[in-house]
Amino acid sequence: MIVNNQYLRIDDGEDVGDFVLFDRVGKTIFSVNRENQSVLVVVDKKFSIDTPDKLALSVQELDSMGSPDIDGRNVRVYRFYTNERLCVEVAAAMGLMEDVITVLRDFHRTLAAEHAVVAQNTPDEFRSDCDLSDLVFEPDRYLRYGFPVYQRDYNGKMRELRDFDSNYSADPRLFEVPVRYRRFSTEDLQG
């Protein structure tokens, strides 16, 4: 993950691989697929979806569970529940990289509109309360407790902060979307 004043770039560490670029000013996400030479464009937009009758959110704060401090910040562990089901566990450091937290909030809120469209088109029996809360209605709830240094969701997907460099200077070309790639939106896919 690379953040500067205008962009957030998320990739697997391969500069020539696929990546996601979030234009912070234009609130637009570009998901670049090099193999297909395509770019999925997600523009921030308002959305309206009915909140399910039962979507009870709760959070349980645990001790640090042995997590070391990071950059002088205490790490706490939180479990986020929806309808009493554990959705995500996060170890977070309050006060760490607050500027990045702001960017991640905007990114997740922009993406929430796309997830809302998917949720509306998904039959009730295939909807997950965790997905509804964490992707649509409260996509940034875990960011309220600090920067996530470890995260594991109910599907077993994990993320972990291994290192960071607040003074990193990235090659500006990493923030360019290939102009020759075909661009499309989810609306294009829906016909």
Query: Is the CB of residue 176 less than 8 Å from the CB of residue 97?
Result: no
* Full-model pTM: 0.89
- The C-alpha atoms of residue 174 and residue 164 are separated, in whole angstroms, by 18
Measure the CA–CA gap between 27 and 38, rounded to whole angstroms.
19
Number of domains in the chain: 1
Q: Domain residues for 45?
A: 2-190
Taking the C-alpha atoms of residue 36 and residue 129, their distance in angstroms, rounded to an integer, is: 33
pLDDT value of position 79: 96
pLDDT, position 113 = 87
Written as one string, the DSSP assignment of 71-102 is TTB-EEEEEEEETTEEEEEEEEETTSSHHHHH
Extract the tokens encoding 150: 């470890």
Please list the pLDDT of the chain residue by residue as tens digits (191 residues).
Answer: 999 999 999 998 766 789 999 999 999 999 999 999 999 999 988 877 777 778 899 999 997 667 788 999 999 999 999 999 999 999 999 999 999 999 999 999 999 988 888 887 778 788 889 999 999 999 999 999 999 999 999 989 999 998 999 899 999 999 999 999 999 987 776 65
The pLDDT of residue 15: 63
- The DSSP-derived string for 34-65 is TTTTEEEEEE------PPPS---EEEEEE--T
